[in-house]
Every structure is written in structure tokens, then in C-alpha cells.
Amino acid sequence: MDEIAALIQHWKQDPTGTFQSWFLWPERLKNFRSIRQGLRQVVKEIKAGTFGNAYRGSSLETVVHSIAEQRQIFKGADHAFIWKPKLRIPDIYENSGNQRAFARLLETCDCCSEAEEVLCAIRALDSHAIKGLGPAVANLLYFIHPTLVSPFNTAIVKGFNAVSRSNVKLGRWDHYLTMRESILAFNAAHRGLLSNDLGAAAGFLFDVGSERYPLPPMADDMASHDAWRKDLEAVRAQSASQAKQLAASRQEDATHTQIQGWLRDLGHSLGYKVWIATNDRSRPYEEGKLSDGCLEQLPVALSIVGGDTVPLIDVIWLHEDGSVVAAFEVEHSTSIYSGIVRLLDLALGSADTIQRHLYLVAPDSRESDVRSQLARPAFSRVAALSMKYIPYSALKANRETIARFGTGMKPIEAIASKL
């Protein structure tokens, strides 16, 4: 095995590297759909002339903030889009022509499926030479086409330059496109270790660029390579001491699953059929799986109405006839934005009868976060849907009593707060 392949293997085994802490994170794929929906909202507002001339409070801020919450690899993703008035960048807030060019890129990439179409759309945007709007946009496009577009930030570029001995510069689309071609070749050469999703290769380059791992030496002598492997082992030992952070992250996932389990059991106790999010169904819970005793598939009508987001709602309660009683999004530590989008897709695409019981379930300490997210202009239609908040403490304190003596939705409404 060559030295780079050995380094990739080491990276995959590192409990605190991006492969295990982000790429394999169950919530990662779940957020793709809601982020894509958010980008569609940005396009819709630009085309309607209602996008506005500021980043703060815009639909773009909402979706980019959600991307920035995607753990360490996207930390700071919003920096490139924040309006810097003294520099007049990025020039998509006060220049309506540039704004429309940006929307055309997002819309074209959303509607196309071929790499050449994506590249043509990027080149079309680049031809406008929009001040301050460079390859950081690739972080948006990645969530539309993860197999065609690589994420982009300073650490990824540093890692790429270190591995390939290149000199890619930040802020230039031509340099990004050249880097993308090389990443595709790198990914193909190590496909057995990486993934069709370019997030894996980008995560590896991010950790290298963050100087998490030493690169193998260029000199072809055994002494140098033996020294490199010793350095790598030292990093492995250091990573073991950092594993506590990952353990805390996994505990968060376990808590999320526990709350879903409570809602599952409570739904069954109240006589409802229960749906568990598709990507959570196989999670271990108690002596079995989280989806034990739950529906194997949603009613066809919901699949049509909700597209690909509704099946990802954490817990849905349904009547025998398949109509929805209530829907719950558990927001333990992940982006509240994504959960709101999924509930909106269900509510706005369905009959009035299923719009009455929509809940965000979150720790007591996140109530202010929930309320601030719903105050964003992008969620102006939420008020009419009577979406409510259930704190963990209220669910924990009352779930057994509700299961034993409750009927219908009245006891759930009693522990929920208006938003």
C-alpha cells in the first residue's frame, strides 16, 4: 500500500477525524434535502424581486447558517456570504443583475444532472466577475451535487496543495475547477478507500490542510518513511485523547434516538400508527431497533406531496386511514432550520386536516434558538400553521402519565408551547 493510501486508512480510523465525526454522521445526509429546499427558496425570492439587499435576515443567511452547522469542515462557511459594506462584497445584495446571475447558477444546478451542465453554469457565473463571489459558492453546490462538486475552504485548499504539490489559490474559479478535476482523479485512484460522494475526499484534504496529520516525505528512503510512520503513530495517540469529544457527540445522537423512542412508544400508546425517519429506522433502541412496530412505508399520498423531505421527519403519528395526526422534529443539537423545512414541506403540501399538530422537540436550553429561527423572514408562513415547541423536560415528566391515561392530542397540546 502506498503512503497516501496508508494515510487515508489512518484518517478513516481516527475517531475524531472528519470521516468518523462528519462523513459518517447520521444527520449529514438528512440535511442535504432541507438545504436544497432552502436554496430553492433563495432562487424563488430573487426571481420575485423580494430577496432584499442585505445578508442578515435573508433566506440565504438561513440556509448558509445551516451549512455552517455541519460540524467542523463547514465552520465559517457563512463568512464568504456576509455583506461587507466597506468593500461592497459580495456584490449580490445591491446589484440586481449579479443577484439574478447567482440565482441562475443555483437553479440550473438544481435542475441538471450532468457534470458538464454544472461546469457550464459555474463558468457562466464566473463570466460576470461578481466581486467577492468566488469558489465558496461550491459549498452550496455540494449539497445539490455531492458526487460532482467538492466543498471548498482554506483548509481544503491547503490540504490539496500539500498532497498534490500544487499552488491552487483561494478566490479564483479557474483554480477551483482545476482543483476539482484533480480531486476527481485522486478520488478515482483511491475509490476503494474513499467514496463516490466527494465529501469524503474533501474531508481528508481538510484534515491534512488543518495539519492534523504529517504528510509522507518526498524523499524515497526508508529512514524518512520510518520517521513519518512514527509521527503518524504519535498523532494516533493524540487522537485517542481527543476521542472524548466524539463520545460526547455520539451521546447527543443517543439522546436524539431516545427522544424518538419516547415519541414512538407514546404514539403507539395513544393508538396511532407511527413512522420513523428513513435514515433512523435501523438505529438500536432498547432491545431492538427504533423502527420496531412502526410503518414500513408512508402512505403514497404523503410520498407524492412531501417529495424527499417528509420521509425524513423524525416521528409522524398517523390514523388508521393513513392521514397524519402529528409530526415531530427532534432538534437535540443539529440545525433547527432543517427540521422546520421538513415540517413545512409536510404542512404546506397537504390538506388542512394535517396542519394542526406540528412540533419541534428540543432541550429546554434551546427554546430561544427555536424561537429565533422561526422569527426569520424565511419562515414567515409558520405562524399560520400553529407550529409548537415541546421541551424535553415536559415530555420526560409527562410521557408515562399520557401513555396510561391520555386520549387524542389534548395531553400533547397541554405540554406544548406556542411559537
SS (H, E, C) 225-243: HHHHHHHHHHHHHHHHHHH
**For residues 190 and 172, what is the distance between their CA atoms, to the nearest angstrom?**
27
Are the beta carbons of 357 and 385 closer than 8 angstroms?
Answer: no
Residue 92, classified by CB atoms within 10 Å of its CB into exposed (0-12), middle (13-18) or buried (19+), is buried
pLDDT in tens, the chain (419 residues): 488 898 999 899 888 889 988 998 877 877 888 889 889 999 999 999 999 888 888 889 989 988 887 777 898 888 999 999 888 899 999 999 999 999 999 999 999 999 999 999 999 999 999 999 999 999 999 999 999 999 999 999 999 988 888 888 888 999 999 999 999 999 999 989 999 999 999 999 999 999 888 787 665 655 555 654 564 465 455 555 554 554 445 455 568 889 999 999 999 999 999 999 988 888 888 888 999 999 998 887 776 555 678 888 999 999 998 889 999 999 876 678 888 888 888 887 765 444 568 999 998 888 888 888 887 777 777 767 788 999 999 999 999 999 998 889 999 999 999 87
Are the beta carbons of 332 and 259 closer than 8 angstroms?
Answer: yes
Alpha helices in 284-335 (DSSP H): 300-306
Query: How many Å separate Cα 130 from the centre of its chain?
Result: 27
Alpha helices in 80-198 (DSSP H): 96-111, 115-126, 138-142, 154-164, 173-189
Q: What are phi and psi of 329, to 5 degrees?
A: -115, 120
Cβ neighbours of residue 113 under 8 Å, at least 6 residues apart? none
Q: For residue 185, count other CB atoms closer than 10 A to its CB.
A: 11
Q: For residue 40, count other CB atoms closer than 10 A to its CB.
A: 16
Gyration radius of the chain's alpha carbons: 23
Grid cell listed for 320: 388508521
Q: How far is residue 370 from each of residues 202, 238, 301, 328, 340, measured CA to CA in Å?
A: 31, 37, 29, 14, 9
Query: How many Å separate Cα 284 from the centre of its chain?
Result: 22
pTM over 0.95, yes/no: no
